[in-house]
Structures are given as structure tokens and as C-alpha cells.
Amino acid sequence: IYNGEQLKGIVIAGSPGSAVTAAADGKVQDFPNDPDYGKGLVIYHEGGYVTEYYGLETIMVGTGRSVTQGEAIGSIGTSNTYFDGSPAVFFCVKQSGIALDPESVL
């Protein structure tokens, strides 16, 4: 819970510019820009899973590119306004459009 809202993911704090890595093998699909959560990246995985990363400063991969687990895909920034502008990545996992607890999936 953050500011009274139940989040459908986890917030990972870090230093600006620190690497953000892919949680699993997959293919880059989208780069949403959310006014609260900041610059984002969406990766599709086998089994209908999707991982989303928000609050990025930079994105190091392009649409349609395959990525491997642990590969650097971007860096932590302050593009979010939701988490008081603190350097953090909001990370969520979905399966068939349903948000899952990332800690129970990974």
C-alpha cells in the first residue's frame, strides 16, 4: 500500500542510473509513459506472462527485441512522480491481464 492505494506490484528503490534487468527471458513489446509511474517498459514472456517496469531513466532495448533473464534493459531514474520523485522502479507481473504478486511468481 502506498498513499492509501493498493499497488499491484512492488517498488524497488535504488540509486539513479543503476541497472534494471529483465526478470525473465522475453520480448520487448511497449514503452508506456505513465504520468504517475513514469517512463515504462513492457516485456512479454511464455505462458501469457507480462512484466512491466516503470520509473526508468533510460531504456536500452528496442521494440521486438528478445531479452534474456538478467540482461540490462534500462536504468533507474526519477521519471515517476508517484513515489515522491525518489529513484525507484515500480515492477509488476501479470498473467493473461491479471496482476500477480511478483514475489510469489519470481
Average pLDDT, the chain: 88
Distance separating alpha carbons of residues 10 and 25, to the nearest angstrom: 20
pLDDT of amino acid 5: 55
Name the nearest CA neighbour of 13 among 68, 58, 78.
78
Q: Which three cell numbers stand for residue 95?
A: 498473467
Q: pLDDT digits over 47-83, tens only?
A: 999 999 999 999 999 999 999 999 999 999 887 777 7
pLDDT of amino acid 59: 95
pLDDT of amino acid 29: 95
pLDDT band at 1 (very low <50, low <70, confident <90, very high): very low
